Chain A
Amino acid sequence: MSPSLDLTVSPERLDEGTPEERAAFGLFVVRTPAQSLTEGFDHYINSCRSGPLVSGYHVAEWLAWNWWRLRHEPRSNAEGWSFAHGMTSIGEGYVWPNLTIYSDGVRTVLLSRPSSDPKAKPYRYFGAPPTVVSSTLFESAVDTFLSRIIGRLREQGVGETNLDRLWSDLLIERSDPHLAIRRKLEALLGLDPGEAEEGALAGVLADGKDLGQAAMEEMAAESAQANQAVMSGEALADLAKTHGFEASVKDSVRLGASWGRLADAAKPAWRLGAEMAKALRDQEGLGGAPVGTTRLAEMIGTRATHLADTAALSLRFSFCLEAGEGPSQVVLRSRWPANRRFHAARLLADRLFSPGERLHPATEAGTYRQKVQRAFAAEFLAPFEGVEAMMAGDFSPERQEDVAEHFNVSAMTINAILKNNKRLVPDEFEQDF
């Protein structure tokens, strides 16, 4: 992970354009100590540059408007996502860096891709390996950039602009806890600031008070991925009553007090999840052996028959709903035994990682929390050391299936473990940063 990130505009002269565009025009560079994310070939000077000649004003407006989504919204296939996360969408006629920025809430990724046309004019971007920074560092780099651009506008005698108003709005939103939580929820819902209906936000916030605010944020991120409304606490309770099975929280396994389970920006979620799984395996004396369904069920405080139940259920996610002293209700979305085991392990991870909340969702959102769950479940059910030993250098799909059968997980789980541990090359967007 990079220790610093700088966004700069070195002033250059522009002969036409609005006053703000001209005041903030120059060489735009995004860089870390290790690399420039904006480097490319300038057709007009027939030479390389560390960045394009563009106006920093438009970059600043885009960053200020999209700040909440850049800071909190995970990667998604939802329509419109790329407009808020891809710098090429800034428009204004410039050839912007092909830079995509998104966060899992803890860590922010900056993906700089090369220009697709090898003869692109007037500026051909080289692209760069993915840059990962803590989301707080990204925040600070953007704050510094916005302040510099506003400073430049004043220095050049440009009066109040739309950027000043956006920046002022953003500072108010960030400093007001009441507004900040709404903006964050909107971002997780894949919406621009002010786009969400107040009633819908109020419902999510009310459920958050009862079930856990962070849990409802996960539900918001899930709903954006699925392009559906956030499921209410009442609907979840109904679903649990109809399709759930009981699990006793007081009988479920716990990690020793010495285990530090906090999210850590220096650590990818998959690594934290894997470490948590190893710690639990060690604590429970499991060695490298597969975890039987009976043992797994005991660990979440229920019976093995519940994990083997194959009734079909059309649901996008699994969840556990705790009820104080009484038994919890668990709903598993899949009818396939290996997937039910995997989702049960994810819910176990969530209880360990996010104790104190009543709702534990296992969704498809790309948040740090969900990535911890998935990595935990994979490592807990199929420890990497054992997987690698069984593969014996043969990473073929057939061998992956054999290993999956041994550990009673899906072949996809084995594939993900091999990619996380760099035994197979992940696709760009499959990499779990």
Chain B
Amino acid sequence: MTGGKRQGNRPDRRIADRSFLQDAEKTRLLNDLVYVGSSLHKLRPGDYGLVPPSNPRPSKSACDEVRSILISEAALLFRRGLEKGMVSVFPQGGMPKYVWAVDDGGEVYEAKTKPGQESRYHGYRIGEDEQPWREYVLRAWRER
């Protein structure tokens, strides 16, 4: 380690600055990234076509704890998040680990890459116990 810099990376769950996502990169992400969902985060599997439809043994946040969300709405929210640049910082040409979005009712969602399939994302709701995070995402969403 030299000077004050660390070799290890911050577990980076922060929204990138507004200027971070250039138009060309945004277009690339909108073309390449896809929302697929995960059975680990489903209480109500809906029309995702997941196999198995629900596999919720770990203590994973559910995306549908408040209401059912069909895949078309989830995919639209994901695209809106990308369009607004609501992504975590990532190396040029790479993929963001996180994408955030807010629905019309003010509910906050976080999408994350599928391990080993970095362009495929699944999402979950950010609940009331993460109030500082909800406010952080809502503020950024309103400002963009």
* Chain A residues with a Cβ under 8 A of chain B: 14-18, 21, 25, 42, 44, 52-54, 58, 61-62, 64-65, 82-83, 86, 88-95, 98, 113, 115-117, 120-123, 125, 162-169, 172-173, 179, 182, 192-194, 196, 198, 201
Which 3 A-B pairs have CB atoms at the shortest separation, nearest pair first?
A: A165-B8, A166-B8, A52-B59
Residues in chain B near residue A122, CB distance under 8 A: 43, 56, 59-60, 62
Residue contact A169 to B7, C-beta cutoff 8 Å: yes
Residue contact A93 to B110, C-beta cutoff 8 Å: yes
Most buried by A among B5, B6, B60, B128: B6
Most buried by B among A65, A122, A168, A173: A122
Question: By the criterion of a CB under 8 Å from any partner CB, how many residues of chain B are at the interface?
Answer: 37
Within 8 A of A (CB), among B31-79: 40-41, 43, 55-62, 65
Residue contact B115 to A89, C-beta cutoff 8 Å: no
Within 8 A of A (CB), among B1-19: 1, 3-11, 13
Residues in chain B near residue A172, CB distance under 8 A: 1
Partner of A15, one of B5, B8, B55, B65: B55
Residues in chain A near residue B8, CB distance under 8 A: 64-65, 162-169
Residues in chain B near residue A196, CB distance under 8 A: 4
Residue contact A121 to B57, C-beta cutoff 8 Å: no
Main secondary structure of the interface of B (DSSP, over half): loop
Beyond the given A58-B11, A93-B124, A94-B58, please list 4 additional residue pairs across the A-B interface where CB-CB is below 8 A: A91-B112, A165-B7, A173-B1, A194-B5
Main secondary structure of the interface of A (DSSP, over half): mixed
> With A88-B129, A89-B133, A115-B129 given, is the CB distance from A169 to B6 under 8 Å?
yes
Number of inter-chain CB pairs below 8 Å: 119
Please report the C-alpha to C-alpha distance between residue A167 and residue B5 in the assembled complex, in whole angstroms.
14
> With A88-B133, A94-B60 given, is the CB distance from A16 to B115 under 8 Å?
yes
Residue contact A193 to B4, C-beta cutoff 8 Å: yes
Distance to closest chain B CB from A45 (angstroms)? 9
Residues in chain B near residue A15, CB distance under 8 A: 55
Most buried by A among B60, B124, B133: B60
Partner of B129, one of A14, A64, A98, A164: A98
Residue contact A116 to B129, C-beta cutoff 8 Å: yes
Residue contact A65 to B11, C-beta cutoff 8 Å: yes
